[in-house]
Amino acid sequence: MIVFRHRKSGDASFLSHIDAMRVLQRTMRRMKAEVRYSAGFVPHMLTYTTTPLPLGVQSVAEYFVADSPLGNEEELLERFNACAPFGMMADFCRVTQGNPNLAAKVVASSYEVKAEERISDEVLQILDMTEYRMRRMKKGQEIDEEVRNRIFSLATDGDTLFMTLATGNENLRVDSFVESLSRFGVKASANDIVRTEQFASLDGKFVAAKEIL
Amino acid sequence: MTDEKLLKKILPEVEKPARYLGGEFNLPDMDKPCDERVCLCFADKYEVGMSNIGLRILYHMLNDTDGVVCERAFAPSVDMAEKMRQNGLRLFSLETRRQFVDFDIVGFSIGFELAYTNVLYMMDLAGVPFYAADRGEEYPLIVAGGPCMVNPTPILAFFDAILVGEGEVNLASFVELHRKCKAEGLTKKEFLARAATLEGVYVPSIGGTVRRAVVKDLDKAYFPTKILVPSCDIVHDRSTLELFRGCANGCRFCQACFYYRPIRERKKDTLLRQAKELITNTGYEELSLSSLSTSDYSDLKGLVDGLKEEAEKENVKLALPSLRLDSFEAEIYEDTKGASLTFAPEAGTQRLRDVINKNVSDENILSSLKAALAHGVKNVKLYFMIGLPTETEEDLNGIVDIVKLVRKLHAEYGRSKLINITVSTAVFIPKPLTPFQWEEQITIDEMYAKQDYLKRELKLKNVKYSWHDAKSSVIEAALARGDGRLSSVIERAYRTGCVFDSWNECFDYDKWIAAFAHCGIDVKEYTGAIPTDAPLAWDFIDNGVTKAYLLKERELAYKGVTTPNCIGKCNGCGASKLGGCFK
């Protein structure tokens, strides 16, 4: 397997997950990577990814896995970047023996949010709360949910908010969460959010996904 | 320039934001030194426009020209337009988010009459006056090209210039001349006076006549192989090879057949090289062939064999378009492992097929279907037209008979267990530059009656019948043969809410009829028969094919006499005078 950590930044952040997958698969074709295909009537490229980002949210730490034989990591990274569109470039490549199954292992993501104004430390009160409720849209309907146990860390520095939120099966939608922070005066849109890393849980600690490969 | 921050704030709130972003793979260098900026516009959504091979060619051609930068703009969806208006954003180019006023030339590619209101929609969003006469030096030159220029009269008033024919010739020379004139400090009016002398360029404010520009040597003509690869799904999301232009068959209802003449091919080796480059440069999973009648390509078998080899090596699917009934090649078909077959007999009886010059016999249909079914075809798509000149009830019954024949043949020869038959009927629209350009269109009531009849008769197991909207066919017919009076109708229709008329869910017949009425015009004036000696709105354009030839073809149609395919022998349509006819 080949694992790439790539960006999804700038205009590329507005690509839907399906579109982004297609872009990455075409990147693999252009770089002439030997990716395996499914054996069905309509063969499709065997590729894997982690939890999709909401539309507009940027990232410098998306993981894309292709079912491909071994290769030279440095050379693969160079070829990937020569064939990927701007905004989807990779900064890391690792060749693994088996499928790292990152979709199941990733449990948290760190984010940076650049707000329109300086962020008040009031937002950190969330960490002292036993319950934090927010509203968000789900399948066209507004729902109210309790998400406190999916907020792992919050910190501020001027107009920037740093946070670690649940990702994966117990996901916390980052754009909805940031929107809910308007009650603390935080003004930011989806495109002001950048996912900076994804983490797996190892012995009770968060470890960057690239470190468990 | 567009407010980037504002744009990115509204994008998550609209459907498919990737439509408005650009940034596709293989994007040309937008920062190169340039003294001429062109914005090519397509009057429909991104996913439709990006599938257009003409726009693709011209976009890359201009960007491969030193000193010229070409960008794109498409018609934003209604949800995006609403957000843009709410936030005070003007229509912008995808590449650098420039507005229309930041360009030297804005060119619209118009391939369909029902896109006319979209042109005004885009101009409106761009904040430019609709009428050329109202646009001063502060506005760019706004020009139109594309297949609708076969009769641009209804939209002449909106444009500074009309580019008739192939953009590789007239757009290239128009842009080049403008660069020179700009350097000389000429005014718009002075430039247009010079531009009117270019091949295939018509300046409405000057008038006169124009001859359609064509590429003389298609094999050597510009064709991009490092093309944009859209990041979001588009209608035809694949690489496309253009085999040839023009069509030798001469179906008498078909505008494309006559409009794209003379017939010019690309050589097999050129196409194989282009295919290889496209596969390498794009990463597309599919490669398709484009032409009006792929079966007529001089070495189709050789080409498909070569492409197949390359495609298999690169894990690319080779998608063949529908082959004409009379040249169905089972071997090619089997090689490409298709599971469906598309046939377009157009008419149900031999008599009517002779009238329209669809040179396909009952025997052709029978043998082709037998072969296809024996090769395991499971899906058969059949395309017909209703309302063709001289059509009778017997011809409608003929459609039903062909469908029943497919079912019978499947029972006898079919290799697959199941068969799905899809029957589609379009309504005949008399189009300029065809032998049927003088014909009347049947009334809406007649259209409905014929469609209802077929709905009843085709209620058969495994048969699905779909039909083209009758009402939009009427408006399309009126605009296709329209004159200058229709500019105000188009404007009125747009102002009362008509936009994306080619999308069934958006088309509003009542608004169109109200727009005609508002302007004191009866739509029937444009859908009725035209005397053959009456002047036509498109007479000022020399499209190659002569009026005398079209009249002769019309006479033959009424006698039920066919004209053979012109590959073997020139039929003297007149297009060869434009240069390059390959036989």
Residue in chain A lying closest to B95 (CA): A11
DSSP per-residue string spanning A137-173 = EETTEEEEEE-GGGEEEEEEETTEEEEEEE-STT---
Chain A residues within an 8 Å CB radius of B24? 85
Is the same domain home to A122 and A77?
no
Chain B nearest CA to A106, separation (Å): 25
pLDDT attached to residue B374: 81
Looking at A57, A78, A100, the residue that finishes a domain is A100
Q: How many residues does chain A have?
A: 213
Q: Does residue B301 lie in a domain region?
A: yes
Is the same domain home to A71 and A95?
yes
Q: Does residue B91 lie in a domain region?
A: yes
Is the same domain home to A85 and A109?
no
The answer to whether the beta carbons of residues A108 and A153 sit under 8 Å apart is no
Measured between CB atoms, which of B18, B21, B229 is closest to A26? Answer: B229
B311 vs B494 pLDDT, higher one:
B494
Q: How distant, in Å, are the alpha carbons of A12, B338, B386, B397 from that of B349?
A: 53, 27, 12, 8
Is the same domain home to B42 and B174?
yes
Measured between CB atoms, which of B18, B280, B285 is closest to A19? Answer: B18
Report the complex ipTM. 0.86
Is the same domain home to A110 and A208?
yes
Q: If you search the block for the tokens 């080899």, which residue do you land on?
A: B309
Residue B331 has pLDDT above 70, yes or no: no
Chain A residues within an 8 Å CB radius of B27? 85-86
Is the same domain home to B207 and B226?
no
Q: Does residue B374 lie in a domain region?
A: no
Q: Does residue B343 lie in a domain region?
A: no
Is the same domain home to A51 and A13?
yes
Is the same domain home to A66 and A132?
no
Residue B170 has pLDDT above 80, yes or no: yes
Of the candidates A107, A25, A31, the residue with the CA atom closest to the CA atom of residue A64: A25
Q: Does residue B434 lie in a domain region?
A: no
Is the same domain home to A112 and A205?
yes
Chain A residues within an 8 Å CB radius of B11? 14, 55-56, 191
Measured between CB atoms, which of B17, B282, B315 is closest to A14? Answer: B17
Is the same domain home to B56 and B185?
yes
The CATH number of the domain holding residue A16 is 3.30.70
Residue B126 has pLDDT above 60, yes or no: yes
Residue A191 and residue B18: Cβ atoms within 8 Å? no
Domain assignment of residue A148, given as a range:
105-212
Residue B548, classed as helix, strand or coil, is helix
Site from B231, B280, B315 to mutate, A interface, most A CB atoms within 10 angstroms: B231
Chain A residues within an 8 Å CB radius of B229? 26, 85
Tell me the pLDDT of chain B averaged across its residues: 93
Q: If you search the block for the tokens 């309790």, which residue do you land on?
A: A146
Q: Which tens digits make up the pLDDT trace of A111-146? A: 999 999 999 999 999 999 999 999 988 888 889 999
Chain B residues within an 8 Å CB radius of A39? none
Is the same domain home to B65 and B165?
yes
The domain tally of chain A equals 2
Query: Would you state the structure tokens that stand for residue A105, as one six-digit string?
Result: 């292992």
Q: Which tens digits make up the pLDDT trace of B543-574? A: 999 999 999 999 999 999 999 999 888 999 99
Site from B8, B228, B239, B312 to mutate, A interface, most A CB atoms within 10 angstroms: B8
The domain tally of chain B equals 2
Is the same domain home to A115 and A207?
yes
pLDDT attached to residue B194: 97
At residue B364 the predicted structure's pLDDT band, cuts being 50, 70 and 90, is: confident
Does A85 contact chain B (CB < 8 Å)? yes
Residues of chain B with a CB closer than 8 angstroms to some CB in chain A: 8-9, 11-12, 16-18, 21-25, 27, 229, 231-233, 280-285, 314-315
Chain B residues within an 8 Å CB radius of A174? none
pLDDT attached to residue B336: 46
Is the same domain home to A112 and A96?
no
Domain assignment of residue B31, given as a range:
4-211
**B127 phi-psi bin (left φ>0, alpha ψ -120 to 50, beta other):** left
Is the same domain home to A94 and A109?
no
Is the same domain home to B317 and B219?
yes
- Poorest-pLDDT segment among A30-34, A157-161, B61-65, B177-181: A30-34
pLDDT attached to residue B414: 75
Residue in chain B lying closest to A37 (CA): B315
Looking at B164, B195, B211, the residue that finishes a domain is B211
Is the same domain home to B152 and B266?
no
Q: Which tens digits make up the pLDDT trace of A85-107? A: 989 999 999 999 888 999 999 99
Residue B422 has pLDDT above 60, yes or no: yes
Chain B residues within an 8 Å CB radius of A191? 8-9, 11-12
Is the same domain home to B187 and B256?
no
Is the same domain home to A83 and A109?
no
Looking at B192, B211, B230, the residue that finishes a domain is B211
Residue B59 has pLDDT above 90, yes or no: yes
| CA-based torsion, B38, B6, A81, B74: positive or negative | negative
Q: What's the rounded mean pLDDT across residues B133-151? A: 97
Does A69 contact chain B (CB < 8 Å)? no
Is the same domain home to B298 and B203?
no
Q: Which tens digits make up the pLDDT trace of A32-74? A: 998 999 988 778 899 999 999 999 999 999 999 999 988 899 9
Is the same domain home to A56 and A112?
no
Q: How distant, in Å, are the alpha carbons of B59, B206, B252, B342, B427 from that of B556?
A: 42, 38, 10, 28, 22
Residue in chain A lying closest to B233 (CA): A19
Is the same domain home to B67 and B160?
yes
Looking at B211, B239, B274, the residue that finishes a domain is B211
Residue in chain A lying closest to B25 (CA): A85
Residue in chain A lying closest to B278 (CA): A30
At residue B327 the predicted structure's pLDDT band, cuts being 50, 70 and 90, is: low
B219 vs A213 pLDDT, higher one:
B219
Looking at A76, A100, A124, the residue that finishes a domain is A100
Is the same domain home to B200 and B226?
no
Of the candidates B399, B370, B372, the residue with the CA atom closest to the CA atom of residue B465: B399
Residue B583 has pLDDT above 80, yes or no: no
B379 vs B60 pLDDT, higher one:
B60
Residue A14 and residue B22: Cβ atoms within 8 Å? no
Is the same domain home to B180 and B296?
no
Radius of gyration of chain B (CA): 24
Q: What's the rounded mean pLDDT across residues B428-447? A: 97
Q: What's the rounded mean pLDDT across residues B227-253? A: 94
Is the same domain home to B179 and B313?
no
Tell me the pLDDT of chain A averaged across its residues: 93
Chain A residues within an 8 Å CB radius of B283? 25-30, 83
Chain A residues within an 8 Å CB radius of B9? 189, 191
pLDDT attached to residue B339: 66
